[in-house]
Amino acid sequence: MSTAPALSPDLIRLSIALARSLSAAARNWALYPPEHPAVDASVRRLSEAVRQSTSGAAFAFAITPKTLLIAGIPLPEEQPVAEVARLLHDHDLLQVTFLGDPPVEALQAFLKLLSTPADDLRRDGGPAPAWEQAGHTAIVLEQIDYEKLLEDREVENPLEDRHDDIWRSLVNTIVQGGTAFDEAQQARLLEISRSVFEIGDLAEAVAAPKCNFDGSPLITTQAATVLAVFRHLAGIVTVMEPERLPDVMRNVASATSNLNPHVVLQMMQTDEGSPDASVANAIASSFDDEKVAQLLATALARDGRASARLAQVFDVIAPDAERKQRVLTMTRSMLSEQDFGKTGQFRAVWTSMEELLLGYDETPYVSAAYQASLEGAGARGDMLAGRDLPPELPEWVDSLGQDNVRSLSVQLIADLLRIEDNADRSADIARDMTALVEDLFLAGDFHNALLVLRELKAASSRKIAPAAARAALASAGESGGLRDAATMLGELEEQSLNAFAECCEMIGPTSVRSLLPVLQSESETPAYKRARELVRKYGAAAVGHLASLADDNRWFVQRNAATLLGITRSADAVPLLQSLLRRTDARVLRQAVAALAAIDDPAAARAIHTVLRAATGENRTAVIEALVAERDPRVVPMLSRILTESDPFGEDHETILGALDAVRQLANEQAVAPIVTLMKKKKFFQRKKARAFKTASVQALVAIGTPKAKAALDEAAKAGDGLLKTIVRSARP
H/E/C letters for each residue in 610-633?
Answer: HHHHHCCHHHHHHHHHHHHHCCCC
pLDDT of residue 162: 61
- The band of 311, judged by pLDDT with boundaries at 50, 70 and 90, is low
pLDDT of residue 385: 56
- Residue 47 corresponds to which amino acid? S
Q: Is the model's pLDDT at 272 over the cut of 70?
A: no
Q: Is the model's pLDDT at 375 over the cut of 70?
A: no
CA–CA separation, 473 vs 402, rounded Å?
25
Count of beta carbons in the 10 Å neighbourhood of residue 162: 15
Percent of the chain with pLDDT over 70: 72
- The band of 365, judged by pLDDT with boundaries at 50, 70 and 90, is very low
Residues 45/131, Cβ–Cβ less than 8 Å: no
CA–CA separation, 350 vs 575, rounded Å?
63
Q: What confidence tens digit (pLDDT) does each residue in 25-44 have? A: 887 787 677 777 667 777 88
- Residue 292 corresponds to which amino acid? V
Regarding predicted confidence, which is higher, 625 or 69? 69
pLDDT of residue 1: 37
- Residue 88 corresponds to which amino acid? L
pLDDT of residue 406: 65
Nearest alpha carbon to residue 492 among 135, 41, 47, 24: 41
| Bridge partners, 68 (sequence order) | 63
Q: What confidence tens digit (pLDDT) does each residue in 290-309 have? A: 666 666 666 666 555 555 55
Residues 111/26, Cβ–Cβ less than 8 Å: yes
* Segment among 63-72, 153-162, 673-682 with least mean pLDDT: 153-162
Domains in the chain: boundaries: 9-147, 165-370, 400-507, 631-733
Longest dimension (CA), the chain: 126
Q: Which residues contact 339 (CB under 8 A, 6 or more apart)?
A: none
pLDDT mean over 1-12:
61
Which contacts of 702-709 are long-range, i.e. CB under 8 A and separated by 24 or more positions?
Answer: 702/731, 702/732, 703/664, 703/665, 703/667, 704/667, 704/668, 704/669, 704/671, 704/672, 705/667, 706/669, 706/672, 708/669, 708/672, 709/669, 709/672
Residues 591/626, Cβ–Cβ less than 8 Å: yes
Q: What confidence tens digit (pLDDT) does each residue in 626-669 have? A: 776 666 676 777 777 778 877 888 877 887 888 888 888 878 88
- Reduce the DSSP state of residue 95 to 3 states and report it: strand
**pTM given for the model:** 0.44
pLDDT mean over 103-123:
86
pLDDT of residue 351: 55
φ, ψ for residue 646, nearest 5 deg = -100, 155
Nearest alpha carbon to residue 577 among 556, 599, 602: 599
pLDDT of residue 384: 57
Name the H helices within 420-525.
423-442, 446-459, 466-477, 480-486, 494-507, 512-519
* Burial 365-392, CB ≥16 within 10 A → b, else e: eeeeeeeeeeeeeeeeeeeeeeeeeeee
* Segment among 62-71, 278-287, 363-372 with least mean pLDDT: 363-372
pLDDT mean over 299-324:
60
**Overall residue count recorded for the chain in this entry:** 733
pLDDT mean over 409-417:
77
Q: Is the model's pLDDT at 394 over the cut of 80?
A: no
pLDDT mean over 683-689:
82
Q: What confidence tens digit (pLDDT) does each residue in 199-242 have? A: 888 888 888 777 665 556 777 778 788 888 888 888 888 888 88
pLDDT of residue 356: 46
The Cα angle at residue 218 between residues 217 and 223, in degrees rounded to 5: 110
Report the Cα–Cα distance between both ends of the chain, in Å, rounded. 73
CA–CA separation, 2 vs 179, rounded Å?
61
Residues 225/259, Cβ–Cβ less than 8 Å: no
CA–CA separation, 598 vs 577, rounded Å?
12
CA–CA separation, 304 vs 310, rounded Å?
12
pLDDT of residue 355: 52
Following DSSP, what letter does each residue of 653-694 receive, concatenated?
A: HHHHHHHHHHHHHH--GGGHHHHHHHHT---TT-HHHHHHHH
pLDDT of residue 466: 82
Regarding predicted confidence, which is higher, 174 or 271? 174
| Beta strands 68-70; 139-143: pairing state | unpaired
Q: What is the DSSP letter of 138?
A: T
| Bridge partners, 62 (sequence order) | 69, 95
Q: Which residues contact 541 (CB under 8 A, 6 or more apart)?
A: 508, 509
The Cα angle at residue 402 between residues 220 and 116, in degrees rounded to 5: 80
Q: Is the model's pLDDT at 158 over the cut of 50?
A: no
Residues 632/604, Cβ–Cβ less than 8 Å: no
Q: Which range is most confident: 54-68, 210-224, 523-537?
A: 523-537
Q: Is the model's pLDDT at 402 over the cut of 80?
A: no
- The band of 448, judged by pLDDT with boundaries at 50, 70 and 90, is confident
Residues 434/450, Cβ–Cβ less than 8 Å: no
Average pLDDT of the residues of the chain: 76
Q: Is the model's pLDDT at 152 over the cut of 50?
A: no
pLDDT of residue 699: 87
CA–CA separation, 593 vs 635, rounded Å?
11
| Beta strands 58-63; 93-99: pairing state | antiparallel
CA–CA separation, 204 vs 289, rounded Å?
24
Q: Which residues contact 523 (CB under 8 A, 6 or more apart)?
A: none
Q: Is the model's pLDDT at 349 over the cut of 70?
A: no
CA–CA separation, 109 vs 46, rounded Å?
13
